[in-house]
A and B are shown apart, each in its own frame.
Chain A
Amino acid sequence: MTVSAELDLQSFVLLRLGERRFAIAANQIAELVAPSRVFRFPHRTPKIEGVILRRGRIVPVCDVAETLTGKRLTARRFYLIAVRGYGTHNEWVALPVTGECELINAEMSATSASDAPHVAGWLSHDGDVIEVLNIDALTPGPEDNLAETAAIGAREARP
């Protein structure tokens, strides 16, 4: 392997949701933890199940499986705690996953215009083509509320 090829390699964490595997850039992962009690309380944000307590922090649990695979998870083995950016501010978000996670080094291919916003790129690994996830686009945040408000406004503005 040449020096230039090595420089293109990045670290990714592979995660499993049902039958499919996805990847997240390793620098966006805080830790992998065993499932713990999810505390639920009333709210209106889709995909957020509740929160877990982790090292004194209250971490929202976001089930992204339905968005990515079309099915909700029926079982979960771990929470992959990812770092979600909100402008200059970062927060943890726990993603339920159904299997072991794996750290790999791979070269990421760029997205195309037809890819969904939650796709940050593509990997080729073990004969599979794997989506690299953009956590910021995949998990809820203030921009979702703004988009929803704009959509409601547009609907109301229709004659």
Chain B
Amino acid sequence: MPPAAPVKSSPARAEQIILFRISGQIFAVSSSSVQEVRSADSMAGLTVEITAPGLRKVHHVAQRGDKSLFVVNGSAHFGLAPSPGALIFVLRKTRTALLIDGIEKMASMTRLQALPRSFCHEERLWYRGLTALDQTVVPVVHPEGFLTSEELAMLDAALPPAGSAGEDAVEGSGPAQ
């Protein structure tokens, strides 16, 4: 019995992706989803601490205009070994700034295979799918998969009083290339 073709695939168009590393694990994200790349050091003085009970992956928030940007620790999000994190991806059209260890390289993805349905837990929110690059399989993250609406509500409830977060903390840096 031949299996049906993968549900989601884009065979023709290439998509630029950024391969990045968290705790030794390689992930990919569409470059069009990354608004800015900043060093963690440059963000350090521009964020304030936040504590949302039960949500250990977010410890800092930056204020950007009227929008709060939550810094998600990538290793905590994926359940990987803790790592210090050196870079931050500000993800476009989200309230997420993702703390990662480093960028591996840029690549071109010609086919995105849907996550097999055997994967049936949170990873379905985390990943857009999987792609094969240089005989390696890389999960392609979903920019909106780092914080659920419930988690955002928890974080909003835990926000410090207005004015204490770094105003426009992430303005002024260039877009990811």
Contacts and interface: CB of A to CB of B under 8 A. Distances in A.
Interface of A: 27-28, 30, 39, 41-45, 48, 51, 53, 56-60, 62, 83-84, 86, 89-93, 139-142, 144-145
B139 interface: yes
A51 B116 contact: yes
B157 interface: no
Chain A CB within 10 A, most for which of B4, B119, B122, B135 = B119
B118 A30 contact: no
Given A27-B1, A58-B130, A58-B132, A42 B120 contact: no
A141 B78 contact: no
B162 interface: no
Nearest to A62: B118
Contacts of A41: 25, 27, 137-139
Contact of A84 (B25, B118, B123, B139): B118
A84 to B, nearest CB: 7
B89 to A, nearest CB: 17
Chain A CB within 10 A, most for which of B3, B25, B80, B139 = B3
Nearest to B111: A56
Given A27-B1, A51-B137, A89-B7, A140 B130 contact: no
Chain B at the A interface: SS class: loop
Given A42-B25, A51-B130, A141 B137 contact: no
B130 A44 contact: no
Task: Report the interface size class on chain B.
Answer: 20 to 34
B117 interface: yes
B113 interface: yes
Contacts of B136: 39
Contacts of B135: 53
Given A39-B137, A41-B25, A42-B80, A139 B118 contact: yes
B174 interface: no
B13 interface: no
Given A51-B130, A57-B6, A86 B137 contact: no
Nearest to B130: A58
The 8 closest A-B pairs by CB, nearest first: A44-B121, A42-B78, A39-B137, A43-B123, A90-B3, A60-B118, A60-B116, A145-B120
Interface string B99-126: 0000000000000010011111111001
Chain A CB within 10 A, most for which of B135, B137, B139 = B137
Contacts of A145: 120-121
Interface string B118-151: 1111110010001010011111000000000000
